Structure 1
Amino acid sequence: MLRRLLVPLIALVLALTGLPNTATADTAATGTGFPSVGGNWGAPGPYATAVDVGAITTLYYPRDIAQSQLRHPVIVWGNGTFAFPVVYRELLLHWASHGFIVAAANTPQSNLGISMRAGIDLLAGRNADPNSIMYNRVDLDRIGASGHSQGGAGAIVVGDDSRVDTILPIQPGPLANVDAVHGPMFILAGQYDSIVWPSLVKAFYNDADHIPAIYGEVRGANHFTVVGDPGPFAAPTTAWFRFQLMGDEEARGEFFGAGCRICADTSTWSSVRRNALATQIP
């Protein structure tokens, strides 16, 4: 009797407080079993989150991952010059709330991608360790790479790693070569970025004719719009990773097909381009 009374009471408290109800967060909806968010990519996802600050990597992840019945995809992150993961905390926690494990490199010099690759190695170890809360909960077959500024260049650099399936560079610096990237790319610029000009980001996009590539220029954004509250960067980046790494078919139409939603959204985007390989994806 007491248990029957407590269950609806707990559900009511969760509804009133707006906290994610992680007890139901594994109800299947996407291709890999993650719950639907109804296309609301910019809203917090269904998972409560936790942070683990290590010597080389800071992890942002679903708090109750040990009780999850799913394997959670990975996003490795690179910081901008002289920045650390805490600068991008809101964006990284946002991704974690949607079910991703984010391995953020604890370095202000991410360009070479060394610490970003180390994040993958760290999670491979956690996944294999019976004493870890992430034991058998890390999906090492679904890994994305992202980063801002110098870290965006780092995301391009690690895009040549066979373990990385897709990349999402945000206003990437110039010291990278996109020719070795083997997975789909969504590359973002800021309309009013005076540090990494949109033309520099377009150059990466133009060179990426061997992979499906999409260029998005965020209307009104400067180089630091993504810092702190990620604002217009939260929703499209989440949708991209949900489609690419979770098989979330609800997110497909944001980027692909004749009805490409970001292509028509002139309030968010000052420019969107898709190359020939991207337009071939239904």
Structure 2
Amino acid sequence: MKSKLLKTMVLASSLAFMNCGEDAVTSAMNNYGNFSSSSVQEVQPGDESSSSTSDVQGGGELNQQGGTEISSAAESSSATAQNPESSADVVASSSSVADPASSADVAPASSSSEAKAVSSSSEKAPAVSSSSSEEKVESSSSEAPKPKGVFLAEGKDETKDQMRVKYIERTGHDGGGILAYPEQLSNDQKHAIVVWGPGGGTEPGAYGGMIRRLASHGFVVIALRESPGNASQGKPALDWLAKKNNDPNDPLYQKLDMNVVGCSGHSMGGLESEQMVIQDKRVITAMLNNSGDLGHTAMSQVPQGKTIGIVYGEGGMERPNAEADYNNPGVKVPACLIKMTGGQGNECQQGECGWGHGSGPWGGMAATVAWMRWHLGGEDFRKADFVGSSGRYINGEIIGERGHWKGTCKNF
């Protein structure tokens, strides 16, 4: 290349001398491309790119734009197979001396030839191809199908916490609620939601045991700041969760099934839950704790396709309303009435004796957890614990506490 440069300079000088003008020299040099100082430096002996430039000269001729012309894809394929490094150098050197168009033409030719080489290699070795395809089939067949339904903790004992829980206070749509959910959220299944309503004049934090227990079983729990008893707090709480479920920056993004929602609560919180299952289409079940409609008609207004239950104490002041609400002849949906008995050995109805007004959220929380695992989580085997003549919440012992459950159900 240096000899060509010297010849060119001699020729140019001769022409310039003969024509006595710089334009003639420039025209003559342009006929051989742009010989810049960088181009000359690339072909100096000892430079790492000298071998690549040599490959360019051997594989083709410099065109007028300074690029490299490769006569055919077959030649490129041959060069690539024999010396992959020189193939890479071809592209690199062409970019230094060629325009973008000619450089782009080099890369696709080399790429297509490499693809052909791989294809022919696979044809010569059918055993390898067959082996790889067999591995793919085995991998495909071994993939476990995604589980159906919402996520539930593997441990099924409703009397115990099952998973570690994130517990966030002073949050929610009004900044006064509590949000709790499993630390390890599922990647394969959505999580069902439980809305918890506190009793009148009681902060949600007083029910930390119930909130944590529900969350530890796989539910996302939002506890309300207060319970007016008319669904005016439950609805915006669910709307707030729906926004989090649609926020890509939120930990709960796409983790919630907004159509699998249960409501529960104590006293006034029970009334809030009852109105939520009546008014909100997203709510499919409710379990009232020590509560019941004062007018004894609300349970009869629960829409078809939903379920409702009440846990109450033998001596709780809620007892008359709980029993009358359940016994209303207009109740057509599946419903249960579950009484806690034997709190002090004797059942009574006057004053706070035996299992009283605070029994459900504390000594009786297992019934609410089991109910939600059944109606939200789809554990149909739990039906036998509630419905029939004998079962855990029909006549079984209150595990870890004094007394027995005394339950009855209808419309199942």
**TM-score, scaled relative to structure 2:** 0.55
Aligned CA distance change for structure 1 residues 50 and 56 (closer, same or farther; 3 Å): closer
Matches for 1:1-12 after TM superposition, within 5 Å = none
Is 1:205 aligned to 2:340, yes or no?
no
Q: Distance in 2 between matches of 1:57 and 1:119?
A: 9
Is 1:42 aligned to 2:159, yes or no?
yes
**Count of aligned residue pairs for this structure pair:** 243
Provide the residue aligned with 1:178 in structure 2. 299
Is 1:146 aligned to 2:146, yes or no?
no
Matches for 1:1-282 after TM superposition, within 5 Å = 31-38=149-156, 40-54=157-171, 55-65=175-185, 68-107=187-226, 109-160=227-278, 161-175=280-294, 177-182=298-303, 183-193=306-316, 195-196=317-318, 198-207=319-328, 209-219=331-341, 220=343, 221-226=355-360, 230-231=362-363, 233-257=364-388, 259-265=390-396, 268-269=403-404, 271-275=406-410, 277-278=411-412
Q: 1:153–1:172: 8 Å Cα contact kept in structure 2?
A: yes
Q: Distance in 1 between matches of 2:220 and 2:159?
A: 18
1:265: Cα distance to partner? 1.4
Q: 1:185–1:214: 8 Å Cα contact kept in structure 2?
A: yes
Q: Distance in 2 between matches of 1:272 and 1:256?
A: 8
1:56: Cα distance to partner? 4.6
Aligned CA distance change for structure 1 residues 175 and 124 (closer, same or farther; 3 Å): farther
Q: 1:255–1:263: 8 Å Cα contact kept in structure 2?
A: yes
The code of the aligned residue for 1:37 comes to G
Question: Residue 159 of structure 1: SS of its match in structure 2?
Answer: helix
Bigger Rg over Cα: 2
The code of the aligned residue for 2:161 comes to P
The code of the aligned residue for 1:43 comes to K
Q: 1:79–1:85: 8 Å Cα contact kept in structure 2?
A: yes
Aligned CA distance change for structure 1 residues 133 and 92 (closer, same or farther; 3 Å): same
Aligned CA distance change for structure 1 residues 42 and 30 (closer, same or farther; 3 Å): farther
Q: Distance in 2 between matches of 1:184 and 1:32?
A: 18
Q: Distance in 2 between matches of 1:43 and 1:72?
A: 19
Q: Distance in 1 between matches of 2:273 and 2:229?
A: 8
Provide the residue aligned with 2:111 in structure 1. none
Aligned CA distance change for structure 1 residues 159 and 217 (closer, same or farther; 3 Å): same
The code of the aligned residue for 2:406 comes to S
The code of the aligned residue for 1:224 comes to G
Percent identity of paired positions between Structure 1 and Structure 2: 25
**TM-score, scaled relative to structure 1:** 0.78
- Identify the range of structure 1 (214-223 vs 89-98) with the bigger mean alpha-carbon deviation: 214-223
Q: Distance in 1 between matches of 2:277 and 2:258?
A: 15
Deviations 1:227-281 (A, max 9, x none): 5xx12x1211111100100112342321135654322316554532212x13xxx
Unaligned runs of 5+ in 1: 1-27
Aligned CA distance change for structure 1 residues 127 and 31 (closer, same or farther; 3 Å): closer
Q: 1:29–1:35: 8 Å Cα contact kept in structure 2?
A: no
Q: Distance in 2 between matches of 1:62 and 1:51?
A: 12
Q: Counting helix residues as a fraction of each chain, which structure ranks higher?
A: 2
Question: Residue 222 of structure 2: SS of its match in structure 1?
Answer: strand
Q: Distance in 1 between matches of 2:358 and 2:387?
A: 28
Q: 1:216–1:269: 8 Å Cα contact kept in structure 2?
A: no
Aligned CA distance change for structure 1 residues 266 and 34 (closer, same or farther; 3 Å): closer
Q: Distance in 2 between matches of 1:79 and 1:33?
A: 25
Question: Residue 243 of structure 1: SS of its match in structure 2?
Answer: helix
Q: Point out which structure has higher relative CO (alpha carbons under 8 A, 6+ apart).
A: 1
Q: Distance in 2 between matches of 1:85 and 1:48?
A: 17
Q: 1:62–1:100: 8 Å Cα contact kept in structure 2?
A: yes
CA RMSD of aligned residues (A): 2.4
Deviations 1:165-206 (A, max 9, x none): 00101111544622321211111110121x32x222011111
1:90: Cα distance to partner? 0.6
